[in-house]
Structure 1
Amino acid sequence: MTGTRTGDVMTAIRSRIASRALAPDEKLPSIRSFAKRMNVSPSTVVDAYDRLAAEGIIRSQRGSGFYVCSPLAPLDLATIGPKLDREIDPFWVSRQSLDAETDMLKPGCGWLPPDWMPNDGIRKAIRKLARASDALLSEYGSTRGSKKLRHFLGRQLADEGINARPEQIMLSISGTQAIDLICRFLLRPGDSVIVDDPCYFNFQALLKAHEVNVVSVPYTASGPNMQRFAEALTAHKPRLYITNSALHNPTGATMSPQTAHQLLTLAAKHDLTIVEDDIFSAFEPSSSPRLASLDGLERVIRIGSFSKPLSASIRCGYIAARADWIEALIDLQVATNFGGPSPLTSEMLFHILSDGSYRKHMEDVRQKLSKKRLSVAKELSALGIVPWLMPRGGFYLWCTLPEGLDSAHIAREALKHNLVLAPGNVFSPSQTMAHYMRFNVSQMSDPKTLTVLKNVIASSRN
């Protein structure tokens, strides 16, 4: 940026802040007056102010102007947006699940049980790493991430009809960090982003951290409600849409080809970028249409990670996108993390994924989940808890509760009995899913789960 007119304006503001000519919480000069003073166009000042706001140096106050950020006021996510009951806060399930004691039951969590994971393959990879070179054990990784792992991903994407050249793939520290980098790259505070209603709760938490306007669109069994989606595009002019097109979280639905076509047509018309979070792709019995394959990575960004099928302890995600966007995202990753995932993590993942046992592991997991979904659906139905649909794969059942019951109340009461549940409004930006609950069928083998559910439901009716 140095040497450009925008960069000169940014340097001038930074210098004033550093010299205390502009104090914390003090208003910046108006755009027109500063443009005149710097002998630049107002649009240049607007660009500079927006970039400084994105860096957290200044902040925008609607209808008032720009102000210097206070260095003593760290971001408090709890103060952004409306105050919510803790039971329906987007952070609630994550915190309860991650901090749970080993004796707690977790049908509300978002991962497979330890004994379902390829632990023998992980141990084998760890033993190989014990003989790794000194460089691998001690140095930073490359900015794009392991070349071997990226080539493996390229072949995997090609099997799904996504033609991603090596320069279009980068590794990230996690799937969540991949979305965070994309938000840093494409969004500014006050921009609008479309999400599904319901959607993965951490989408909401992450977008709240970026101080953007979250616009929700009802999700159906075949994808977003396209009439409401079109209305949202016209009314809010969003920059981004974040979704799972296959094995949607939390509903388990898969987007139909017709909806995918309509969605991409509208995205092109309204200059909308789509982030396709495909973290559950390995759990599909057969690949369904993907927005990234239909679009060719023009305005769709594909992200994913290995936490669900392999191990949440071995964190690594990836981004597949336009080559010029990848270059910008790499710079952001260097700025925020000084590089991508650990070389040790990447090497371990490559050993596990390239071992022929991984394919067999996933076949076994898909078969176990297929049986488990049917048996758990039957057990829940006996309690009056009915699946919204039966997913093609994955480990979630999105269910309606018996009439008159509130899922947040049920979750609060179940927690007293060491049972972590995922109430519907955790996933709903509009807070209209109080009669829904998401269940992880892989975490429901212990008979105490259904016993606690039965007792809590019975006491809630009295």
Structure 2
Amino acid sequence: MTGIITKTEALIQVLRDRLARRALGPGDRLPSIRRFAETMNVSPSTVVEAYDRLAAEGVIRARRGAGFYVADANMPPMKVAQMGASRDRDIDPFWVSRQALSAAPGSLQPGCGWLPEAWMPQNALRKGLRALAKADGTVLTNYAGVQVPDTLLRVLQTRFAEESLPVAPDQIMLTGCASQALDLICRLFLNPGDTVLVDDPGYFNFHALLRAHRVQIAGVPHGPAGPDLDAFAAALQQGPRLYITNSALHNPTGATISPQVAYRVLSLAAKQDLIIVEDDTFADLEPEPSPRLAVLDGLNRVLRIGGFSKTLSASLRCGHVAGRSDWIEALIDLQVATSFGGPSPVAAELLAGVLTGGSYRKHLADLHRRLSLARKRVTAHLAPLGIAPILQPRGGFYLWCRFPDGIDTAEIARHCLGDGIILAPGNVFSPTESASRFMRFNVAQMDSPRIYAALQAAMA
């Protein structure tokens, strides 16, 4: 009958999945026939047949008297999306990201993580591009060096100094973006099988990237004042290597860590030799600075990453990492090995030009005003639908909203996608899938009445 597979075929698929996820690699020994049969609750003859069929394909090979081993050749391509626990497509980070990045013309994206084009400083960017056309030929043609260009270095040091965080030149480096910064940090500190703490809910692309590094993800409940301290302390018993978080304008909740929670997190981390990665991508969207782990820690065990994709241009790929000088030195070596230098000199020079051009602070003030109005407006439009934010953030463009009892936001997102509306359901942000009643809305992308009509229809 169509659609029914045999026990042998099911067993073969299990093994293929392990190979694709690199749970088994070239030269690894497969479980013994007897042990695998007991584990999978099948007969030894079923295991023998599965192994024989894979051996005939050249995927595995038998060694007389020593068992079966993964062949050095014919390994299937590594499928990052299949790593970790299987997730429903509507809450899978890879599928949600790809929907947002490849949206069809005319689609609405209240679930995306960026501002509309019209909100960005296009005139300043065009002016900077015209200036770059007259730049020295080395900027236009050469590889990037490993040092931060002087102008951009001064800008970044000044910004950190305003938070009382002195950063020496050897404590900062440029990356292609904040995500690349995190990738380099994972390469430096993690091995497959290590445990990493993340906020629950937390930014879903953190989870996707960690799956690519083949590590275990442990979620820590996150609330209006930061991570739950009891849960954080309990999670430390798993021996995690890293904790990745947003201290301010948390993604997706919009929360800001309290000073008391920040101090306690650092104290617990110090006792367990835990390294903290503080993603501060949304820093410029906060009207006034709030507590930062990197500032309180003095860049001892905290690495701070950031970029300007949220306030200047997502097309202008340039991020940065600040941390201990020995860690930055090691990260630079990794960057040279993996991408032969830092981000494009064109991107770095354009970024420096816009940041020093005199219009950036005015642009930020305008963003703060527009976003404040948008948060209030969207909250008012959602209220009649029974959808309410759990808190009003101090800034930024996210509202983390609770839906009425009995509603699964993944179903809402699936329904609205048929109307060309791309949403971000709660469980895509939750490694424990405990946020089915929640959804993240981008208030800057919520002007169309179509969105509210589609939500109402989906909830009916």
Aligned to 2:435, which of 433, 436, 460?
433
1:455–1:355 CA distance, 2 compared to 1 (3 A): same
Q: Please say if residues 423 and 437 of structure 1, whose CA atoms lie closer than 8 Å, have aligned partners that are also in contact.
A: yes
- Paired AA for residue 222 in structure 2: Y
Equivalence for 2:245: 243
| Deviant stretches of 4+, over 4 Å | 66-71
Aligned to 1:198, which of 198, 201, 215?
201
Say yes or no: does 1:122 pair with 2:125.
Answer: yes
Q: Please say if residues 314 and 345 of structure 1, whose CA atoms lie closer than 8 Å, have aligned partners that are also in contact.
A: yes
- Paired AA for residue 79 in structure 2: D
Q: TM-score, normalised by structure 2?
A: 0.85
Equivalence for 1:35: none
Alignment of 1:191-270 (within 5 A): 191-234=194-237, 236-270=238-272
Superimposed CA distance per residue, residues 241-271 of structure 1 (whole angstroms, 9 cap, x where no aligned partner): 0000000000000000000000000011110
Aligned to 2:419, which of 417, 420, 424?
417
CA distance in structure 2 between the partners assigned to 1:73 and 1:160 by the alignment: 49
- Paired AA for residue 210 in structure 1: H
Equivalence for 1:375: 377
Equivalence for 2:448: 446
Q: Please say if residues 144 and 330 of structure 1, whose CA atoms lie closer than 8 Å, have aligned partners that are also in contact.
A: no
Tell me how many residue pairs correspond in the alignment.
399
Equivalence for 2:56: none
Equivalence for 2:283: 281
Equivalence for 1:351: 353
Q: Please say if residues 107 and 441 of structure 1, whose CA atoms lie closer than 8 Å, have aligned partners that are also in contact.
A: yes
1:68–1:314 CA distance, 2 compared to 1 (3 A): farther
Alignment of 1:332-411 (within 5 A): 332-411=334-413
Q: Please say if residues 81 and 208 of structure 2, whose CA atoms lie closer than 8 Å, have aligned partners that are also in contact.
A: no
Equivalence for 1:94: 97
Q: Please say if residues 27 and 68 of structure 1, whose CA atoms lie closer than 8 Å, have aligned partners that are also in contact.
A: no
Q: Please say if residues 305 and 320 of structure 2, whose CA atoms lie closer than 8 Å, have aligned partners that are also in contact.
A: yes
Equivalence for 1:53: none
- Once the two structures are overlaid, the 10-residue window that deviates more, 70-79 or 174-183, is 70-79
- Paired AA for residue 181 in structure 1: L
Once the two structures are TM-superposed, the CA of residue 209 in structure 1 deviates from its matched residue by 0.5
CA distance in structure 2 between the partners assigned to 1:308 and 1:201 by the alignment: 16
CA distance in structure 1 between the partners assigned to 2:242 and 2:174 by the alignment: 21
User: Percent of aligned pairs with the same residue?
Assistant: 54
Identify unmatched segments of 5+ residues in structure 2: 1-24, 31-66
Aligned to 1:316, which of 315, 318, 338?
318
Q: Please say if residues 24 and 71 of structure 1, whose CA atoms lie closer than 8 Å, have aligned partners that are also in contact.
A: no
Once the two structures are TM-superposed, the CA of residue 128 in structure 1 deviates from its matched residue by 0.5
CA distance in structure 1 between the partners assigned to 2:457 and 2:182 by the alignment: 40
Once the two structures are TM-superposed, the CA of residue 151 in structure 1 deviates from its matched residue by 2.2
CA distance in structure 2 between the partners assigned to 1:187 and 1:85 by the alignment: 27
Once the two structures are TM-superposed, the CA of residue 154 in structure 1 deviates from its matched residue by 1.1
Once the two structures are TM-superposed, the CA of residue 214 in structure 1 deviates from its matched residue by 0.6
- Paired AA for residue 220 in structure 1: G
CA distance in structure 1 between the partners assigned to 2:324 and 2:308 by the alignment: 22
Once the two structures are TM-superposed, the CA of residue 426 in structure 1 deviates from its matched residue by 0.3
Alignment of 1:67-146 (within 5 A): 72-146=75-149
**Superposition CA RMSD, Å:** 1.7
Q: Please say if residues 424 and 435 of structure 1, whose CA atoms lie closer than 8 Å, have aligned partners that are also in contact.
A: yes
- Paired AA for residue 361 in structure 1: H
Identify unmatched segments of 5+ residues in structure 1: 1-22, 29-63
